[in-house]
A and B are shown apart, each in its own frame.
Chain A
Amino acid sequence: MRVVSTVRVSAADVRPLALADDVPIDIAVSRSTSDRVYRAVGYGAGASTLVLMALIGLFLVLRGADAIRYAGWGFFTETRWLPTPAGGAFGIAALLLGTFVIAVVALVFAVPIAVGTALFITEYAPRWLRKPLTSLVDLLAAVPSLIYGIWGAAILQPREVYVSRFLSDHFGWFPPFHTTSVTGSGPTNLADFSASGFLAGIVVALMILPICAAVMREVFAQAPAGEKEGALALGGTRWGVIRDVVLPFGKGGIIGGSMLGLGRALGETIAVALIVSRSTRVHDLLEVLKTGGNSIAATIARSWSEASGMATSALMAAGLVLFVVTLLVNAGAGFIVGRSRSGAATEI
């Protein structure tokens, strides 16, 4: 109930009204004590979100400051991550690179599948199948990260290494697939392809798929029925309708959904931590198929229990970088999705 603020209406204000002056008059409201308490509590709850977000940023800065001061600008250029309680050499560069490599692999897999799934649900599936199918895709988002991690390492990896080796053997001329053996020379063997950023990317793709698909589905479903029918009436095939009406209309949703997925992929922790072998050599990180792979969140999770002193501060600083990057990506995504007329229902 939005009640406007108090305005005194004096005699001077009362004059014959022309139609153009026909505006609502603000009414003086006096609230009971219970309502004043109610509104104050409501404001407090609303403000708590603002305060919490501000505090998260503030405290990560405060606790990470030691490490950033110690490392200076080198924090953003150093690739090694070897913090000790007293100091050591550490920088975010390789971790950030690894985070983005995994996120990009995830997007390469998730976006086409999400577009296909969303199109299937909105355009192809029979009516009775739509709701159950939507629920099943959403169920992918409900499965805990931890379970994705142990599944990826135990079930998917033994199968994925063959695919990686195949890609490396036959498509090695394509730079991302070029792989050198771990020993540095000689041909690659299967073990060179385990625990890779590629595998982590595939698993993360599954985890971000539901949010991408949900956003796209919402936007595709809003494609104007009149234009679709018009395209069909002109003799268009179903693909013609999708190409010329649904996809152009849903472009914002595809981009926005992908960016929301990117934001989630960057922050994915446990699944990545359980899969990658956490290399900080840039060379290893760029060869996605090879053992290695790393991410900021995975590094925090894996090295937290042994960290103390400066090492803890370094992890806090890494967390701060992750926090800022995901906030920026999500703000961008929110902006794009909002403009494409679909802000609703982007959650599970």
Chain B
Amino acid sequence: MAVIDLTTEGRRMPPHDHDYDEAIVEARRVDPDSVITHIGAALAALSLTWLVYERLTPFSGALGFVFVWWAMFAVFVYVLARQQWGAVVALNHLVRVLVGSAAAVALIPLGSIIISVTARGWHGLQLSFLSNTLRTASTQSKFSGGGAWHSIVGSLEVVGLSMLISVPLGVLTAVYLNEIGGRMATPVRMLTDAMSAIPSIVAGLFIFAVLIQSHYLQQTGFSGALALSILMLPTVTRTAEVVLRLVPGGLREASLALGSTEWRTTRNVVLPTARTGLVTAVVLGVARVIGETAPLIVTMLGSRLFNGNPFTGKQDSLPLFIWTQKVTATGDNTVTASWMWSGAFVLLALVLVLFVIARMLGNRTVGARRG
């Protein structure tokens, strides 16, 4: 069928690499003078820092040492470069050190988070943690076999339900914005942006105010799913819209010219062409909400027991599990701390996996390049 050919054709489009195409092409020559200057500055700064920090002043601590070393290094680079090449070039070298440091500073916490959560969560992560609940677990004994099985199942159900709500609605909204259009499109786009910025706890308050205070619903997993779907909706809509915009107009026109209706064009040409990009939208939406805690505090009560039914009774979720261990822990209870870190490790691993999947899909398709 012609339509199928069109879609395969669409997916065979060469990937656009519009990333920084306009960047200046520059002869990258390693200047030996410059390299030696930097090495010299680093060594001189190290020696001076050791002298000042360890001998002359009463400071201590590795963090302070590294910071002083870094500051001295920047000063030395500037001074040495100024002596050799003058003030203008020296300033250039100094700015390069500062800008490079900013990028490094941005990534150090990421490394610290991943390493510390893994280190502290790993040893508590036995099979029992993934298969038990807190039904009989005692916070006093390491061997009572508490686990987060009930929370993991709860999380999967809650996120799954919010997906069932947000994905169709978000994709349809994107279809409206991109394929149908009209006077309402601009306000919808603006409010989607506004919605992506509402504090997550406000989404929880809203569901509570509308459905729970009015006694339409109880504080169940389903209420939590509704709150999460409000947060997921703008992410799905915006990603899907970007993806649909990149479907070539020629495909739509070809389909319409062959006599398809608009609906058939959207269903058989536009959406299949953008399929991988739409999957990315879903993955990003899930990644957005899977770690959300604030709305669940308001709309779900949390539980120590297994409850497979999100529509009745209390239910737990992984973020709530971690939050509860953190908030209710008294003093230095090592058992709850171990549960907390193991839960955090599982959550972080889930998020990282989703992130990698989203990036891999994003790189593969025409439609999914994101900022």
Main secondary structure of the interface of B (DSSP, over half): helix
Please encode chain B, from 311 to 331, with 1 for each CB lying within 8 Å of some chain A CB and 0 for all others. 000000001001100110000
Are A116 and B102 interface neighbours, CB within 8 A? yes
With beta carbons under 8 angstroms apart, the residue of B88, B105, B319 that contacts A237 is B88
With beta carbons under 8 angstroms apart, the residue of A45, A112, A166, A304 that contacts B172 is A45
What is the CA–CA distance of A136 and B347 in the complex, to the nearest angstrom?
18
What is the CA–CA distance of A345 and B371 in the complex, to the nearest angstrom?
4
Known contacts A46-B185, A60-B202; is-contact A346 B172 (Cβ 8 Å)? no
What is the CA–CA distance of A228 and B99 in the complex, to the nearest angstrom?
18
> Which one of B39-47, B48-56, B123-131, B192-200 is at the A interface?
B192-200
With beta carbons under 8 angstroms apart, the residue of A117, A270, A301, A319 that contacts B106 is A117
Known contacts A50-B188, A297-B199; is-contact A237 B297 (Cβ 8 Å)? no
In chain B between 151 and 205, which residues have their CB closer than 8 angstroms to a CB of chain A? 169, 172-173, 175-177, 179-182, 184-185, 187-188, 190-203, 205
Please encode chain A, from 237 to 277, with 1 for each CB lying within 8 Å of some chain B CB and 0 for all others. 11110100000000000000000100110111110011000
Known contacts A34-B261, A239-B91; is-contact A347 B181 (Cβ 8 Å)? no
Chain B minimum-CB-distance residue to A327: B194
Are B287 and A46 interface neighbours, CB within 8 A? no
Are B351 and A143 interface neighbours, CB within 8 A? yes
Chain B residues in 8 Å Cβ range of A125? 103
Q: Does B35 contact A (CB under 8 A)?
A: no
What is the CA–CA distance of A120 and B91 in the complex, to the nearest angstrom?
16
Are B261 and A122 interface neighbours, CB within 8 A? no
Q: Does B150 contact A (CB under 8 A)?
A: no
Are A218 and B371 interface neighbours, CB within 8 A? yes
Q: Does B293 contact A (CB under 8 A)?
A: yes
Are A237 and B252 interface neighbours, CB within 8 A? no
What is the CA–CA distance of A46 and B195 in the complex, to the nearest angstrom?
13
> Which one of A51-59, A69-77, A283-291 is at the B interface?
A51-59
Q: Does A305 contact B (CB under 8 A)?
A: yes
Chain A residues in 8 Å Cβ range of B297? 301, 304-305
Chain A minimum-CB-distance residue to B266: A38
In chain B between 10 and 42, which residues have their CB closer than 8 angstroms to a CB of chain A? 19-20, 22-24, 28
Known contacts A1-B179, A240-B92, A326-B199; is-contact A345 B370 (Cβ 8 Å)? yes
Q: Does B359 contact A (CB under 8 A)?
A: yes
Chain A residues in 8 Å Cβ range of B265? 1
Are A267 and B206 interface neighbours, CB within 8 A? no
Q: Does B109 contact A (CB under 8 A)?
A: yes
Q: Does A82 contact B (CB under 8 A)?
A: no
Are A124 and B63 interface neighbours, CB within 8 A? no
In chain B between 43 and 102, which residues have their CB closer than 8 angstroms to a CB of chain A? 61, 63-64, 88-89, 91-92, 95-96, 98-102
Are B95 and A239 interface neighbours, CB within 8 A? yes
With beta carbons under 8 angstroms apart, the residue of A1, A274, A322 that contacts B199 is A322
Q: Min CB distance, A66 to chain B, in Å?
A: 11
Q: Does A190 contact B (CB under 8 A)?
A: no
In chain A between 122 and 137, which residues have their CB closer than 8 angstroms to a CB of chain B? 122-127, 130-131, 133, 135-137
Are A120 and B209 interface neighbours, CB within 8 A? no
Known contacts A38-B262, A38-B266, A112-B102; is-contact A347 B370 (Cβ 8 Å)? yes
Chain B residues in 8 Å Cβ range of A41? 172
Binding site for A on B (CB under 8 A): 19-20, 22-24, 28, 61, 63-64, 88-89, 91-92, 95-96, 98-103, 105-107, 109-110, 112-113, 116-117, 120, 169, 172-173, 175-177, 179-182, 184-185, 187-188, 190-203, 205-206, 209-210, 213, 230, 233-235, 237-239, 242, 252, 256, 261-266, 284, 287-288, 290-294, 297-298, 319, 322-323, 326-327, 340-341, 344, 347-348, 351-352, 354-355, 359, 370-371
Binding site for B on A (CB under 8 A): 1-2, 31-32, 34-35, 37-39, 41-50, 52-53, 55-56, 59-60, 62-63, 112-117, 119-127, 130-131, 133, 135-137, 139-140, 142-151, 153-155, 159, 162-163, 166, 206, 209, 213-214, 217-218, 221, 225, 228-229, 232, 237-240, 242, 260, 263-264, 266-270, 273-274, 297, 300-301, 304-305, 312, 315-316, 319, 322-323, 326-327, 330-331, 334, 344-348
Q: Could you jot down 12 A-B contacts, CB within 8 Å? A: A1-B252, A46-B188, A53-B194, A116-B106, A127-B23, A130-B20, A142-B355, A225-B22, A232-B24, A323-B199, A330-B194, A348-B287
